[in-house]
Chains A and B, each alone.
Chain A
Amino acid sequence: AQKVTQAQTEISVVEKEDVTLDCVYETRDTTYYLFWYKQPPSGELVFLIRRNSFDEQNEISGRYSWNFQKSTSSFNFTITASQVVDSAVYFCALIANDYKLSFGAGTTVTVRA
């Protein structure tokens, strides 16, 4: 069985600060996929990124960046120069050979103006 841990329940920052969300995962499978989703107050889960277990390259997309480290089973997410519109719940998730997408508990990010 897979497990995803997001130890940070809530993070509050002031606009323009950087914020890093931690994600640690557990799986016995060698092939797996990691995801980050954003859930704004409207409720819809928005896909942000997918990473497979064989690709440890970090990725940057605008103000978002992801750091995947297999050695520590972590897939952390950083928002640079945060904005009020970044306020949401962010979920890390993992899927492996049992095709069940396992979500972490989520981290609520509040960006204050």
Chain B
Amino acid sequence: ETGVTQTPRHLVMGMTNKKSLKCEQHLGHNAMYWYKQSAKKPLELMFVYSLEERVENNSVPSRFSPECPNSSHLFLHLHTLQPEDSALYLCASSQGLISNEQFFGPGTRLTVL
């Protein structure tokens, strides 16, 4: 595997379900990110991890819970979501937080029924 991978690519869940999104980066980067992309809205930064420590929680509801067990893996745990949470969830990684480009995964298309 190369670059940034995300699983699953598509997910349909009910509002009472619990699921997790997984992201893995094979680039040796030390920062990872979760973004939400909804229709007709700009990409929204959700969480930032640097050296496995969370450095940003961008006013995200508690029904989204991130986890970064090591520098290569990032999870987004989901529970009791709402239909308006349906979106494309993108993971990214970078070397450092500012000067270098972020590389994105293919995203998970989430539908909440």
Q: Contact: B99 with A33, CB < 8 Å?
A: yes
Residues of A near B43 (CB, < 8 A) are: 91, 103
- B64 located at the interface, meaning its Cβ lies under 8 Å from any Cβ of chain A in the complex: no
Q: Please tell me if the beta carbons of A33 and B88 are within 8 angstroms of each other in the complex.
A: no
- Tell whether, in the assembled complex, residue A43 and residue B98 are in contact, meaning their CB atoms are under 8 Å apart: no
A97: interface (CB < 8 Å): yes
Q: Is A52 located at the chain interface by the 8 A CB criterion? A: yes
CB atoms of B101 and A45 under 8 A apart: no
Residues of B within 8 A of A96 (CB): 98
Count of CB-CB pairs between chains A and B under 8 Å? 45
For window 40-94 of chain B, which residues contact chain A by CB distance below 8 Å?
42-43, 45, 48, 55-56, 58, 88, 90, 92
In chain A, positions 15-54 with a C-beta closer than 8 Å to chain B are 33, 35, 37, 42-47, 50, 52
Beyond A35-B101, A100-B45, 15 extra complex contacts between A and B, CB < 8 Å: A33-B99, A43-B88, A44-B104, A44-B105, A44-B106, A45-B104, A47-B102, A47-B104, A50-B101, A99-B48, A99-B55, A100-B48, A100-B58, A103-B43, A104-B42
Enumerate chain A interface residues (CB-CB to B < 8 A). Answer: 33, 35, 37, 42-47, 50, 52, 91, 95-97, 99-101, 103-106
